[in-house]
Amino acid sequence: MSRKYIKYLSLQVAMLVAWVALAASNGFAAADMPRLERAVVFAPDFSQSILSNPRMADFRGGVQRAFPEAVKSSGRFRVIDAELTRNARNDEKVRAGLIEQFEVDGFVSLDILDRTDTFDFVVRLFDRKLEPLLQESDSIDAAKMESAGATGVNSLIEGLVYRLFNRVPYDAKILSMQGRFIVVSGGLEQGVQVGDEITISRVAVASRHPATGVWNKFTVEALGRAKVAEVKDRTSIAQMTGQIKPGAVRVGDGVKLVRIASRARFAREAAVPAYGPEVLGSGARPIPVEPLTPQLAAGNPEKLNPTNEKPAVVNPVPAAPAAVSPLDSPVATEEQVTPAASVAEEEGGVGGGRKESWFGSVAAGIFSEGELGLGLRSWSVTGPVSASTAAPYTLVNNIGLRGTRRLSREAFGDMEADFSFGSSLSGSFTGYDLRGNGYLEYPVAPESQGTVLQFHRWRYGGVGRLVGLSVSGEKFGGLDAFFFGGFVGGRGDLNIGDNSRKLGVQGDLFLYPLTVGSFGYKGVKQSIDSALGTGIEVKLFRPADAKGAAEYGLTWQYESHSFQLGNSKTAVYDSSKFYLGIRSEL
């Protein structure tokens, strides 16, 4: 292959990578946030040691009563009757029937795990496909379990459920609009009262946790505010008192209700949590309760942006005459004002946004997850010439960087760059491997709790790689090639012990049916006329102890390519990498 053609392919790959990065940074194919109004509450699931302990029968019964009651009392969901939802957790047909008959939006679960010294309480919110959306957890010392009593445990469960729901930066959605008046999917059941000030925003998921896939960060664009004029059981009519520009608010935008029970509790208890070390025990890991954004004061536009960064300026709009019916009132065009900036909120924005450096902002705008890897790369060539790497004294001859971006609900993009160096048997080498992956990822139906290896998600997609290897002092002069192919794989958990400790597992199988490039043979570059390659990648990592914390793990990659060269000879190229990686959300 000519140098000109190699440069042409390199330019095409660079243009493709740049396009993907630009599309990702602009939130390409961002999905709308789902409606969250009707839910099914799964029966609590306990570790076997809890189920088999007769002394914990009262505890189990109390949890089974407290959990669905906490979901109902939060004001977030209309809960489907428990008699209709039996076996919904393990029976896909039952879930499908509930979705069709009752228009169920989500499922809520509680798992209680016995970890010998502590008990872990894990609450999750799933979507219709049983894909996890949110997760919240706390622990209580085993020694403190009895002293906490039913009141302490119930308070813990209620706090978990409320915090889980509060992670979402909206409580209701706009169902319809007419002029300045909006119909909101929240009413008396959510604590809404006439005269309440509500905020309107457009919410999107900015990133997900790389191991669990749950929502991790959101972008929240403040659009305006409104005042409640009429309240019914499940809906309200509100009059917009300001928006960032005419037509900024639309059907489907989110609304935050400060009187909803889950937010009202933490507004009252922000200074003094309902439970702490005296209830949970010194070894527990409660997540700090953060104060809520206070109810917006009329005429105070700085309160519109909860992060206090670049506050929005919203001009109030005069109210319509009282004698005019709200839904029939003609509305004049509103005055355009300064738009509010989109802000990133962590964990649903309960405590406001975070401040980042310019580098962090740029990186987070392109990638939702980054990884750095250090380790060992080895390769070998057999056929008309033979060569291979020599073991490095430091056991480190490869540095890798990777960035991942969620492009839509199921679509992802990866960009990787590996650089290697070291000694061969008779000389030395340097190399690079630039990779771009695009793939779709879907949830897998949950397996039984007793399964050692649980796969939660499977994926498939395409991969393009630009590989360069320069070798000196050998008859094999190196490799310049572009590999194109596809892969299929999945990820899940490796359960250790009583399902309470887990390691994340990820595996992929690769097939490369197309290769173009050249192969160094005795000082002459031979074109690669045809080729077939296969590969495998396995990752084993320790999930982060806290959301946003770094994760550590091991990665093993192996690939083998058979080349038919221009001189009619056949060569085989094998490469493997083994490295320690650290990855984190950006």
**DSSP 8-state assignment for residue 5:** H
Which DSSP helix (H) or strand (E) runs through 400? strand 398-406
Q: Are residues 398 and 536 in the same domain?
A: yes
- Is the residue at 319 inside a domain? yes
Rounded to whole angstroms, the Cα distance separating 138 from 199 reads 30
The domain that holds 375 is classified in CATH as 2.40.128.100
DSSP-derived 3-state class of residue 303: helix
pLDDT of the residue at 259 = 81
Q: In this structure, are strands 78-79 and 38-41 parallel, antiparallel, or unpaired?
A: parallel
The Cα 90–Cα 266 span in angstroms is 34
Round to whole Å and give the CA distance between 416 and 434. Answer: 6
CA gap 555, 40 in Å, rounded: 39
HSE on the CB side for 195, CA within 13 Å?
0
Looking at residue 336, what is its pLDDT? 32
Residues 532, 533, 534, 539: what is their CA dihedral angle, to the nearest 10 degrees?
-160
Give one DSSP letter per residue of 364-393, joined into a string: HHH-SEEEEEEEEEEEEEESSS-EEBPPPT
Range of the domain at 147: 38-166
Give the span between the Cα atoms of 178 and 327, in whole angstroms.
6
Question: How many angstroms from the chain centroid is the CA of residue 54?
Answer: 39
Among 355, 379, 395, identify where a domain stops.
Answer: 355
Q: Which residue among 148, 166, 184 closes a domain?
A: 166
Q: Provide the CATH number for the domain around residue 57.
A: 3.40.50
Same domain as 243, residue 203: yes
Q: Cα–chain-centroid distance for residue 76?
A: 22
Do residue 526 and residue 468 come from a single domain? yes
Tell me the C-alpha distance between 440 and 301, whole Å.
42
User: Using CA atoms, how far apart are residues 123 and 137, in angstroms rounded to an integer?
Assistant: 6
Whether residue 251 is contained in a domain is answered as yes
| Distance separating alpha carbons of residues 574 and 572, to the nearest angstrom | 7
Q: Which helix (H) or strand (E) holds 163?
A: helix 142-166
Other C-beta atoms within 10 Å of 237: how many? 20
Radius of gyration over every alpha carbon of the chain, rounded to an integer in angstroms: 28
d(CA 408, CA 405): 9
Q: What is the number of helices (H) and of strands (E) in the chain?
A: 8, 24
CATH of the domain at 191: 2.40.10.410
pLDDT at position 141 is 79
Q: Are residues 454 and 364 in the same domain?
A: yes
CA distance 331 to 324: 11
Sign of the C-alpha dihedral computed for residues 151, 134, 138 and 219 taken in this order: negative
Cα–Cα distances in Å, from 162 out to 8, 49, 71, 111, 135? 56, 27, 8, 16, 12
- At residue 139, the 3 state secondary structure works out as strand
- The reply to whether 77 and 19 lie within a common domain is no
Residue 186: strand, helix, or coil: coil
pLDDT at 282: 43
Specify the pLDDT at position 548.
56
pLDDT number for residue 266: 64
Handedness of CA 60, 64, 69, 70 (dihedral sign): positive
Asked if the structure places residue 31 within a domain, the reply is no
Query: DSSP state, 290?
Result: P
* pLDDT for residue 399: 94
Domain identity same for 452 and 534: yes
3-state SS, residue 144: helix
- Token reading at 176: 């319809």
The continuous run of DSSP H or E covering 583 comes out as: strand 570-585
Q: Is the same domain home to 336 and 456? A: no
Q: Identify any residues that bridge with 171 across adjacent strands, giving them in sequence order.
A: none
Which distant-in-sequence residues (6+ apart) come within 8 Å of 509 by Cβ?
Answer: 487, 488, 489, 534, 535, 536
Residues 107 and 206 in one domain: no
Same domain, 415 and 311: no
Q: Please compute, for residue 36, the number of CA atoms within 13 A of its CA located in the half-sphere on the CB side.
A: 28
Rounded Cα distance between 268 and 272, Å, is 8
**Helix 57-73 / helix 142-166 crossing angle, nearest 10 deg:** 20
Distance in angstroms (rounded) separating the CA atoms of residues 62 and 209: 32
pLDDT along the chain (586 residues), means of 10: 44 47 40 78 90 87 90 86 84 88 90 84 90 87 72 85 87 88 88 90 84 83 91 90 85 86 65 40 38 34 36 35 34 33 33 35 63 92 90 80 83 92 91 94 61 80 95 91 95 64 84 94 88 94 64 91 92 93 78
- In a domain, residue 541? The reply is yes
Same domain, residue pair 341 and 373: no
Position 492 in a domain:
yes
- Choose among 224, 248, 244: nearest CA to 337: 244
Please count the CA atoms within 13 angstroms of the CA of 567 that sit on its side-chain side: 13
Is 128 a domain residue? Answer: yes
Please tell me whether residues 106 and 179 are part of one structural domain: no
Residue 281 lies in a domain: no
What is the Cα–Cα distance from 578 to 556, expressed in whole angstroms? 5
Query: In whole angstroms, what is the distance from residue 467 CA to residue 575 CA?
Result: 12
What is residue 586's predicted lDDT score, i.e. its pLDDT?
60
Q: Record the tokens describing residue 108, joined without a space.
A: 């809520």
Q: Could you count the other beta carbons within 10 Å of the beta carbon of residue 234?
A: 16
Q: How many domains does the chain have?
A: 3
- Is residue 133, in this structure, part of any structural domain at all? yes
Q: Is residue 432 a contact partner of residue 467, using CB atoms and an 8 Å limit?
A: yes
Q: Which of 112, 136, 166 is the last residue of a domain?
A: 166
pLDDT for 185 equals 87
